[in-house]
Amino acid sequence: MSERTATIASRVGLHARPAAIFAGAVGALDLEVTIGLEGDPIDDAMDASSILSLMSLGAGHGQVVVLRAEGAGADEALESLVAILETDHDAAE
């Protein structure tokens, strides 16, 4: 199983727009990806393709989350997902 950590960069945390962007990216993958707060038990990890799960996770700006996936291409997929989480999608354009 592949695992990566990411620090939430969006100023409002993993809510609304950032959650939708991230869930869409996970949904486009042919992998099951889970997400959980760093330090939480692995059993508490949630489906990373679910916007509701992402928002209920309550990950705020600066918090670290753990992403896990298994299967072909998991390492590369997780790297791309980390990049999404570590981008401030709420920044003024």
Instruction: Give Cβ neighbours of residue 55 (< 8 Å, ≥ 6 apart).
Output: 14, 15, 16, 19
Q: Which of 15, 54, 74, 78 is catalytic?
A: 15
Active site residue 15: yes
The two tokens of residue 83 are: 């990049």
Specify whether the CB–CB gap between 57 and 8 falls below 8 A: no
Active site residues: 15
